[in-house]
Structure 1
Amino acid sequence: MNRTVLYIVFWWCVSAGCLKAEDGSRLWFRAEMTAQAQVKANRESPAISVAVEELEKRWKGGAVHLSLHQNKKLRNLGKEGYVISGEKQTGIHIQSASDLGLLYGAYHLLRLQDTQNDNGALQVEESPAYDLRLLNHWDNLDGTVERGYAGYSIWKWDELPEKISPRYKEYARANASIGINGTVLNNVNASPGILTGNYLRKVKVIADILRPYGIKVYLSVNFSSPQILGGLSGSDPLDTGVRRWWRDKIGEIYRLIPDFGGVLVKANSEGQPGPQDYDRTHADGANMLADALKPYGGIVMWRAFVYHPGDEDRAKQAYQEFIPLDGKFRDNVILQVKNGPIDFQPREPFSPLFGGMKNTALMPELQITQEYLGFSNHLVFLAPQWKEFFESDTYCNGKGATVAKTTDGTIFPHPVSAIAGVANIGEDINWCGHHFAQANWYAFGRLAWNCELTADEIAEEWLRMAFTRDQAFVTPVKEMMLHSWDAAVNYMMPLGLHHIFAWDHHYGPEPWCDIPGARPDWLPRYYHNAGEKGIGFDRTTGGSDAVSQYHAPLKEYFNDIATCPEDLLLWFHHLPWDHPMKNGRTLWDELCYRYDTGVRQVREFQKIWDRMERYIDGERFRHVQSRLKIQSRDAVWWKDACLLYFQTYSGKPIPYDIERPVHELDDLKKVKLDLKHHH
């Protein structure tokens, strides 16, 4: 074969995606493990051994010295902080006050190398924003994962403790590399069974594997465990027998797992048992557990996701429930609060509990798994959403009191600060179902460590490590990622619309959904209130008055139609269809254009991705390409369903320069998804 033919074959191979097939199982660890670096440490420990091994196999520069020191500078950086100094070729020093700091420093140095940011003289000082940076697994003991879209659970309870999956160690490594230091192994809708001796011995095996990577294990517990497991007559938190049962059980856990982190509790929420079953408060329940954990240094994470059947606006209920309890919780209790006041919607204002509770530690709960954002079928990069949340000003302490500063210890110094992300991990070979869903796991870890990083920086890092450092790929794909959340909001629920999802599975649109006997606040009509006079939820001082849960000037800002951000307009206001928008369009026309924009954005993502074929392996290229086709079809489904349905109330034409609907409303109302297909 002559040289010209060889060249043509080579070029065809490159352009046809003949690069080595990849399945995504290596996450952001695709760099070759063939280095033989010289690494020395002045101490020994399991975590330092991990750091040394990672550097020896992956660092392609001069010698690296790891040293534990207790000087003032390092102590000020905290037990997980570190300093990196030196030059790649002549030698690098990583210093910390703890072995975990050295581990995080090692991973950061390797990240600098993998993203080509390791040139010149390095002088890096880092310490984490939050003390505890946790994944919450909604994994059940039978192997299923609630709101999991990447296959069954990675925890093989039926095989433990005898058989150990190699994934446990890979999981630990991936999390340590992005600074995650805790994991709640089981679903917040907890089975009491996790606290039996049989299961605790399985938990111990996982804890032993995660420990060298700096990751502590936590468990979700069922509040009725004393009654169900202990045979007591009830689980009243003020009952001495119940308190003794919890003390004994916690002691049993710590004998097996001396560094056990603590418990997560979902109580008196969506049918789960809790202290209110006994006319006690959330503080009574949380404090009972806190007292049992206190001698061991453990914590209670008590979820504030609480709302009761009734006439009160659901968006107000958690605030009403917990504000009267501010200052009544033990100092080892942290309230875990979802980012918004409803439930992980594509767009929500921040929960008014942030900045509302000044004497109680709060930890944000973010959802990495895309329960309301197209599961693992849709490419939606969540860092921009989380950045909007962190940077939202609560005004609880004057201007500049952002959500981040109210929770990371800057404004309200509590003994411990924490943040949680609901994991999107399953046993799928690529971990998350969609190759790009890995970026949300990665982004959560990076933002939990440093919430001042930009979404742009995080996307750039991840793309360079997970795909290629070729800027011809990175730049356009990063732009696609950075606009993907905005696109999803546009084609699903623009202008502050929320919770108009299909019953139960939350995948597709069902604004017409009506289940006889169902609670009103579980149905879309409760939220969109569409009628001939208009659409939206009136949360102004003349409506449900949810605006008054926010500090001035936010209360006035949201309350006034002239200043309320248009992205949250229908969250706070019920408006007529011909309400004039800032751009001069009517509300109805703007709604139509937003839905249409979302569809066009996803089609643009398809074009961008198709142009990238030559830069990456064919296997991952085709996988993402296939998912973008689904996303594009789903965007049209959302647009048609919502506009055709709302049009029955508005009585107005869809603007004629917008693509016509391709479905009939009656046909869309018949769509019933087979959930097995999506899980």
Structure 2
Amino acid sequence: MFRRAMAAMLASAALLAPLGAARAEDGYQLWLRYPRLAEAPRAALAARAGAIVALHRSPTIDVAVAEVQRGLAGLTGSAPAVLSQPQGNAIVLATVPEAARLGIGGLDAAPLGEEGFRIVSRSVAGKPALVIVANKDAGLLYGAFRLLELAEMGTPLDTIDVTSAPKLQLRMLNHWDNLDRSVERGYAGQSIWDWWKLPGYADPRYTDYARANASIGINGTVLNNVNAVKESLTPRYIAKAAKLADIFRPYHIRVYLSARFSAPIELGHLKTADPLDPAVQAWWKDKADELYRAIPDFGGFLVKANSEGQPGPQDYHRTHAEGANLLARAVAPHGGIVIYRAFVYSQDNPKDRARQAYDDFKPLDGQFDPNVIVQVKNGAIDFQPREPFHPLFGGMPKTPLMAEFQITKEYLGFATHLVYLGPLFEEVLRSDTLANGRGSTVARVLEGKVAPERLTGMAGVANIGDDRDWSGSTFNQANWYAYGRFAWDPEVSAEAVAREWTAMTFTPDPRFVGPVVAMMMGSREAAVDYMTPLGLAHQMATGHHYGPGPWVGNLARPDWNPTYYAHADASGIGFDRTKSGSDAVDQYAPALARLLADPKTTPERDLLWFHHVGWDYRMQSGRTLWDEMVTHYDRGVADVAAMQRTWATLRPYVDPERYAQAEAFLIAQHDEAVWWRDASIAWFSTKSQRPLPAGAAPPAHSLDYYEALQFPFAPGHPGG
């Protein structure tokens, strides 16, 4: 523990080391490296950044100014002075009224909202200056980070005019971190929250965490696992959360806690947690008051209820709306909110697990209090390599919804597989629900543009741990970065985000950026191909979800078994979700449901999600379904091999440390892609009873070999 704390302190010192000091690249600095610019852009930036002018001061302005100083020290070699009076040849941080007093006109405050900013090149005191303008200090902080990013990427600054404002209000990380520092589905070491040492000692890493999140616009963090324990709401742990809130506050990040629904029984010694019981309501009100005394800007509660054994309102024959509203009324006087998860699968799903959230929540549309937002996973099962968008996004027009994505790669190769999630985010968010005519995309639903909402938001299950590189590998950092960009603007381009991240994390050299972005953009499709092609889902080994296990079918609950999702038999493969099966297609808007009800008009990428199809069914390629499946498995493996070849050509552009890590991980990914391909084909060939297509290699081992593999200590699995 001492060594870890010392490493964190040395890391912070290293960030402030004199320029030119020898320092290995270990990933700690993320995309905030601020390397020295080439001579011409360095001179151009220095000429416009001779000073930093902050026309007023606050804790948030102070961290914005410190960041600009840090960035300029790295990019130009000199940290400019900070002034309080107008001066040209400076970076000026000003609210809209302050800018007007400087004579900078034509700045419309309305589009900026509470958190937006505008960066313009204007004359100040008769000399050119770079002016960051916002309505609030948070916007000035976000604008400061953006200006540094643009400068680092070589954007011309002499005519710059950039306006940006978030399209979603809540842009949150959900940490599945436990109080013993284990992280459920975490693959980057232990939790970064050292609860034992808080509040007396706060690791400097917490500040760097806040910096990183502020740089991509994240403004909220849930500190503890959705599988919450009662201790999180005790005075001892509230004091620890308050310390983190104090550190995060200048960075415009609010703290939230996952609440255990049965806490009134476990902490308050009540006999019930019934949401309609007056004593229960009084207990939650008192607990909310206690929290806000310790954390005045406490964000509110995240709730997982009646799912995977967690207690909830249905234990008392109450609805999820009644459970959510109980907590919402406790925090409402303080301006708090309740985020209520729609992941509610339980024993009572005889037809189809994919139906349950919609069936439970659709009848409750319009029954939630105004300060409740329902958090919906991107797909109806569980963060699979590919799922169709969740039907609730088109089914609850009277209820604010926020999307929940998984940044940590529980089903996508853990930390070692290079799988950039930008294309997954983009695919889901651009999907058209058709709920209110064409153009009713998931992104527009979240933004409140399809049905106006008071609350809007997005949540990402964090991939952060105490590993030196934060996320278990350099390329996993891209998913944290991309999530922040999509939470700020759900309509952003995954490729543009990858280009930004690559330039800042490695180098803006186009000879490096082009190949790496191409590799990243194809990586998610490669993983789908070698894991779950053509709409298959949940074919991972059970529990730890590491590696293939399509043969598992002996567990107590049907929906814990991969065989439940594939329904592979002699007649074919796939889950029938049409009227002849579970009729889950009926949960989508009628125009879309009609398309999905027919295998010929269902996108082939989702074919086996919605249809049980014969092995000899003819695909668009002209191949049979069986041959097409094998072709996809082979293509996934080949794509990883191609990534290896691409990376090998890029050695001259990458520091040895990060190059070697990515090289080793790509070798592991290729080995595991082959394993996935061979094990899956070995199993499904027993069902299809068809030969492999010409040229396809047989599996390297027998099916018995693959079935016998065991991994009792896989990371990120409670009790594993």
- Length-normalised TM-score, structure 1: 0.95
Counterpart of 1:342 in structure 2 is 381
* Counterpart among 580, 583, 591 of residue 545 in structure 1: 583
Task: After superposing the two structures, state which structure 1 stretch, 653-662 or 568-577, moved more.
Answer: 653-662
Does the 8 Å CA contact 1:364/1:420 hold for their aligned counterparts? yes
1:67 and 2:94 correspond: yes
Counterpart of 1:145 in structure 2 is 183
Does the 8 Å CA contact 2:121/2:157 hold for their aligned counterparts? no
Counterpart of 1:637 in structure 2 is 675
Whole-Å separation in 1 of the counterparts to 2:697 and 2:507: 36
Counterpart of 1:7 in structure 2 is none
Aligned residue for 2:460, secondary structure, equals: strand
Does the 8 Å CA contact 1:74/1:82 hold for their aligned counterparts? no
Whole-Å separation in 1 of the counterparts to 2:69 and 2:118: 19
Counterpart of 2:691 in structure 1 is 653
Structure 2 runs not aligned, ≥5 long: 1-21, 38-45, 77-88, 101-106
* Counterpart among 568, 574, 579 of residue 617 in structure 2: 579
Aligned residue for 1:73, secondary structure, equals: coil
Does the 8 Å CA contact 1:87/1:119 hold for their aligned counterparts? no
1:649 offset after TM fit, Å?
1.1
- How many residue pairs match? The answer is 660
Q: Deviations over 1:426-479 (max 9, x none)?
A: 000000001100000000001111122211111111011111111111111110
1:83 offset after TM fit, Å?
1.0
1:47 and 2:60 correspond: yes
Counterpart of 1:320 in structure 2 is 359
Counterpart of 1:225 in structure 2 is 263
1:678 offset after TM fit, Å?
7.2
* Counterpart among 4, 22, 37 of residue 25 in structure 2: 22
Aligned residue for 1:638, secondary structure, equals: helix
* Counterpart among 329, 332, 342 of residue 368 in structure 2: 329
Match of 1:68, as an amino acid?
Answer: T
Aligned residue for 1:29, secondary structure, equals: coil
Whole-Å separation in 2 of the counterparts to 1:464 and 1:87: 27
1:666 and 2:699 correspond: no
1:416 offset after TM fit, Å?
1.6
Counterpart of 1:418 in structure 2 is 457
Does the 8 Å CA contact 1:37/1:55 hold for their aligned counterparts? no
1:307 offset after TM fit, Å?
1.7
1:87 offset after TM fit, Å?
6.7
1:332 offset after TM fit, Å?
0.2
1:79 and 2:114 correspond: yes
Counterpart of 2:490 in structure 1 is 451
Aligned residue for 2:565, secondary structure, equals: helix
Task: After superposing the two structures, state which structure 1 stretch, 423-432 or 106-115, moved more.
Answer: 106-115
Whole-Å separation in 2 of the counterparts to 1:397 and 1:659: 48
Does the 8 Å CA contact 1:38/1:56 hold for their aligned counterparts? no
- Equivalent residues in 2 for 1:507-546, closer than 5 Å: 507-516=546-555, 518-546=556-584
Aligned residue for 2:245, secondary structure, equals: helix
Closer, same or farther in 2 for the Cα pair 1:37/1:235, shift >3 Å?
Answer: farther
1:90 offset after TM fit, Å?
2.9
* Counterpart among 440, 460, 472 of residue 433 in structure 1: 472
1:362 offset after TM fit, Å?
0.4
Match of 1:506, as an amino acid?
Answer: H
1:660 offset after TM fit, Å?
3.0
Q: Deviations over 1:571-611 (max 9, x none)?
A: 00001100000111000000000000000000011111111
Aligned residue for 1:499, secondary structure, equals: coil
Aligned residue for 2:212, secondary structure, equals: helix
Task: After superposing the two structures, state which structure 1 stretch, 537-546 or 650-659, moved more.
Answer: 650-659
Counterpart of 1:11 in structure 2 is none
1:191 and 2:226 correspond: no
Does the 8 Å CA contact 1:21/1:620 hold for their aligned counterparts? no
Counterpart of 2:537 in structure 1 is 498
Q: Deviations over 1:195-230 (max 9, x none)?
A: 000000010100000000000000001000010011
Whole-Å separation in 1 of the counterparts to 2:438 and 2:707: 47
1:377 offset after TM fit, Å?
1.2
Aligned residue for 2:394, secondary structure, equals: coil
1:265 offset after TM fit, Å?
0.2
- Length-normalised TM-score, structure 2: 0.90
1:677 offset after TM fit, Å?
5.9
1:314 offset after TM fit, Å?
0.7
Counterpart of 2:43 in structure 1 is none
Structure 1 runs not aligned, ≥5 long: 1-18
Whole-Å separation in 1 of the counterparts to 2:318 and 2:245: 33
Whole-Å separation in 1 of the counterparts to 2:716 and 2:169: 35
Match of 1:86, as an amino acid?
Answer: S
Whole-Å separation in 2 of the counterparts to 1:678 and 1:176: 27
Aligned residue for 2:579, secondary structure, equals: coil
1:134 offset after TM fit, Å?
0.2
Structure 1 runs of 4+ with >3 Å offset: 32-37, 59-62, 676-679
Whole-Å separation in 2 of the counterparts to 1:624 and 1:83: 37
1:543 offset after TM fit, Å?
1.4
Aligned residue for 1:230, secondary structure, equals: coil
Does the 8 Å CA contact 2:185/2:716 hold for their aligned counterparts? no
Aligned residue for 1:353, secondary structure, equals: helix
* Counterpart among 363, 372, 393 of residue 402 in structure 2: 363
Match of 1:24, as an amino acid?
Answer: G
1:43 offset after TM fit, Å?
1.6
Does the 8 Å CA contact 2:184/2:716 hold for their aligned counterparts? no
- Equivalent residues in 2 for 1:81-230, closer than 5 Å: 81-86=116-121, 90-230=128-268
**Percentage of pairs with the same residue:** 53
Does the 8 Å CA contact 2:183/2:716 hold for their aligned counterparts? no
Aligned residue for 1:130, secondary structure, equals: coil
Q: Deviations over 1:483-535 (max 9, x none)?
A: 0000000000000000111010111100111334x100110111000011100
Whole-Å separation in 2 of the counterparts to 1:670 and 1:249: 50
Q: Alpha carbon RMSD of aligned pairs, Å? A: 1.6
Closer, same or farther in 2 for the Cα pair 1:232/1:677, shift >3 Å?
Answer: closer
Task: After superposing the two structures, state which structure 1 stretch, 69-78 or 210-219, moved more.
Answer: 69-78
Q: Deviations over 1:116-140 (max 9, x none)?
A: 1244401111110101100000000
Match of 1:74, as an amino acid?
Answer: A
Task: After superposing the two structures, state which structure 1 stretch, 604-613 or 71-80, moved more.
Answer: 71-80
Whole-Å separation in 1 of the counterparts to 2:435 and 2:50: 50
1:31 and 2:69 correspond: no
Counterpart of 1:284 in structure 2 is 322
Counterpart of 2:428 in structure 1 is 389
Aligned residue for 1:39, secondary structure, equals: strand
* Counterpart among 563, 566, 581 of residue 601 in structure 2: 563
Counterpart of 1:3 in structure 2 is none
Counterpart of 1:245 in structure 2 is 283
- Relative contact order higher in (CA < 8 Å, ≥ 6 apart): 1
Whole-Å separation in 2 of the counterparts to 1:152 and 1:515: 32
Whole-Å separation in 1 of the counterparts to 2:141 and 2:706: 53
1:37 offset after TM fit, Å?
4.5
Does the 8 Å CA contact 2:424/2:524 hold for their aligned counterparts? yes
Closer, same or farther in 2 for the Cα pair 1:440/1:37, shift >3 Å?
Answer: farther
- Equivalent residues in 2 for 1:572-611, closer than 5 Å: 572-611=610-649
1:32 offset after TM fit, Å?
4.3
